[in-house]
A and B are shown apart, each in its own frame.
Chain A
Amino acid sequence: MSTFDAILQGFSVSLTPANLWFTFLGCLLGTIVGVLPGLGPAAGIGLLLPITFTMDPTSALIMMAGMYYGAMYGGSTTSILINTPGEAGSVMTALDGYQMARNGRAGAALAVAAIGSFIAGTIGIVALSLLAVPLAEVAIDFGPAEYFCLMLFAMAAVSSLTGSSVAKGMFATMLGLAVATVGVDLQSGLARFTLDVPQLEEGIDFLVVVVGLFAIGEVLSGIEQYLRGDTAVLRIQGRLWLTREEWRRSVGPILRGSMIGFFKGVLPGAGATISTILSYVLEKRLSKHPEKFGTGMIEGVAGPESANNASTCGVMVPLLALGIPGSATTAVLLGAFIMYGIQPGPLLFDTRPDLVWGLVDSMYVGNLMLLILNLPLVGLFVRILYIPKTILLPMVLAICLIGVYTINNSTFDVWLALGFGVLGYAFRKLDIPLAPIVLAVVLGGTMEQSFRRALAISDGSPAIFVSSGISITLLIAALIMLCLPLIVALVARLRRRSRQTGGASVAH
């Protein structure tokens, strides 16, 4: 059966009333899970597993996939409205999305997030349908050395988010890296910085840091503003929808974000978060007004949101084509596959095309459903901003508590989150940037472990880091990324000097 016929057959599977219902249920539950800060799609799908024991495997997988990308949609809503990223892939959205809300453009932000996610999801699914098997091969070429270079590149990208004070940005990054070192070290088996507390053995969950710094910190800051007499409610300015101008500015970021998201998703490991970082930084570099990023630029929402949805399709590539899970969520999905006695792998495309294409086609359907669900809800969600702060802010605190509690079923994490919350409040007042902290927490662990694994493999020789085309390319890219502001400033200064000396043209 040709691939095209298989895709069509998949639609006949995914469009049955039962499967449509499961797609819808998955998307709805996923949105709820995504909105709740702390409870992520991995845990959500894990909790669905027992319910699905008795279901038809295709339907069960459709529902779980629905939850996965539904969570991506949900996460962006709280990021934009209350600066509370619902999960890892929504952190970058909060940077400019929340500022857009403060500028009265919450409706536009939510709309571009929904539309961008839909377009990106569609592009991702098409790419998945066509490229799954060959792409999986490329993913394998990434070994520990290549991963380290990739992380270095991503960290170099993070360095462009430091804001006005390089020193403060650097410290924030260092702090994030330090948090990432807490826990049992995978290479040596030794516990680091755990102070004999067993709950710290497995490290500090990145979501605890995010919810603490962003959400709780924001609430405390908001309460302070309120107590200073600022009881104004955020007004919505202009239309609830995107202006033509905003739409025009968003198309590029959406397309670029989709590409980045999908291809990064294919590589096992932190696909969503890293692809959103790369997308945000790319848009900032390409923009004519990079200094305005962080104050409410729509590109900063369109890009990352598209990237994180496209990455959910990307992570399906190693899962379906090889049976390798690339993230915590796909690991749970793989567990589900095994539970049903289904072997993912290239054979799956031949032996169970109904399952594979039924699943993939349900993703098209699910994406469409989420768009239809979310767009009208934009008006409703925006009304959340009208809730008086005295009620909204404590509500957010309560939601933070549940969200963080459900990560590990422990109050210890909530105490940690509170601590980070107070820290986040203090940092806001001291003008220390928060994004580098969170991003360093995500990247730091993999970066260190990959570096040490690579050295162990090469028996101590650093040559392994320049032994493959991929690592060399990434190292050069990282270098360029780091030096770009310096090069740009140098070129600008030389150009100014040549203009001042008048006449005599200086080379470059």
Chain B
Amino acid sequence: MTSRSASSQRRASGIRARVFAAFAALALGAAVQAQTVPLDKPLTLVAHTAAGSATDLAVRELGKALQPVIKQPVLVVNRPGGSGAVQMTSLRDGPTDGYTLGLNTSSHLMVFHTAAKGKLKRDDFAWLAGLQTDPFVLYVRKDSPIKSLQDLVALAKQKAQAGEKLNVGGALPQGSAHSIAFSIFARQAGIPFNWIAFSGNGEIAPAVLGGHVDVGQTNPGPLIPLAKSGRVRVLAVMNATRISSYPDVPTYAEAGFPVDTTWAQVRGIFGNRNIPKDMQDKLTRAILLAAQSDSWKAYMERSSLLPLNQDQQAYTALLAKQEEIGVQWMHEIGLIKE
């Protein structure tokens, strides 16, 4: 009869619904499981700068984002010295189980040819994942006559004719990632310059604001307070595309100077090369998962960093290319001989 078939139909659909629900739960559970890469022991991340610095903050943010993924606590240890030489040496000589890793920047690559020459090399390590790109920006004080990269180049050429050079305030000595970035631009534009080395944007900014140097170069993050308050004008960003925190700032290419923008500060995670391959893969997966978390994305956003999110293969290739460019430039500048 209809009522009986209706009720049995209802019962059947009820059972179907429950079975469907059960499958859905299982699938969801599996999906949730796939979002974690549980490890057996706590992980240690080694930073190569002192507590409170930008790279240290990056390490701590990563640690925070990793904990729910690996289901273990993450400890942060600071091991400054030799621009990373001390940190790298400790990783090379330390345990190879994969539970001690470090954060590297592009500057680490140069260390292989200066401080740690003959002692450390890129192949001593496994470059597990690339996390972020920190591009370079050029800026002047707001009442400077320079309004664009073209103006900057014009000023540089004008000064050159008078026997002077453009004064560029930047971080770290010549041969650092920062100075090489400007060298790349200067070659494109055909201008000579004086590289005035400071230790960080904390020193560069007053020099730019006070008009003691003509232009300053730094990363976008530390500059945000001054840029947003209108005290400085950001001329261009050395990146393939515009960046979200400075939407009105043209890229070097847009401003008329197409340069190879692979040269930027990148940061990623590395470890001892003898970590077992399957552990390496696990770590890469975990790190890239952590980079998808909300807390990490929020940190990247407010620090004006660009996501890189490269796996081991891509990151290793990128670093190889960067090292090649860097060594070339150091030869040109005259910092290394052979």
Q: Taking beta carbons and an 8 Å cutoff, which residues of A are in contact with B?
A: 42-43, 45-47, 49-50, 53, 139-145, 184-189, 191, 198-199, 201-202, 268-269, 318, 322-326, 328, 330-332, 334-335, 337-339, 341, 343-347, 408-410, 412, 449, 453, 456-457, 459
Contacts and interface: CB of A to CB of B under 8 A. Distances in A.
Contacts of A201: 81-83, 85, 115
B52 A331 contact: yes
Contacts of B302: 338-339, 341
Interface in B200-233: 200, 202-203, 205-207, 209-213, 221-222, 224-226, 228-229, 231
Interface in B161-179: 163-165, 167, 172-176
12 contacts: A43-B51, A140-B210, A141-B210, A189-B335, A323-B225, A335-B52, A341-B302, A345-B229, A410-B81, A457-B196, A459-B164, A459-B165
B51 A143 contact: no
A45 B202 contact: no
A186 to B, nearest CB: 5
A42 B202 contact: no
Nearest to B202: A325
A15 B89 CA distance: 49
B114 A345 contact: no
B268 to A, nearest CB: 20
Interface residues on B, range: 35 or more
A186 B81 contact: no
Given A140-B210, A186-B199, A347-B228, A332 B81 contact: no
A199 B82 contact: yes
A338 B83 contact: no
Interface string B84-128: 011001000000000000000000000000111000000000000
B52 A46 contact: yes
B175 to A, nearest CB: 5
Given A53-B64, A202-B81, A459-B194, A191 B225 contact: no
B56 interface: yes
Given A144-B212, A198-B86, A201-B85, A46 B206 contact: no
A49 B79 contact: no
A198 B115 CA distance: 7
A334 B77 CA distance: 21
Contact of A202 (B82, B174, B175): B82
Nearest to B223: A323
A2 to B, nearest CB: 21
B54 A335 contact: yes
B303 interface: yes
A198 B57 contact: no
Given A50-B60, A268-B206, 11 more contacts: A43-B51, A46-B51, A50-B76, A139-B206, A141-B210, A186-B197, A322-B209, A331-B202, A332-B51, A332-B53, A456-B194
A42 B115 contact: no
7 cross-chain pairs, A with B, having the tightest CB-CB distances, nearest first: A323-B225, A46-B51, A46-B52, A143-B212, A189-B173, A332-B52, A198-B82
B38 interface: no
B167 A410 contact: no
A317 to B, nearest CB: 12
Contacts of B34: none
Contacts of B72: none
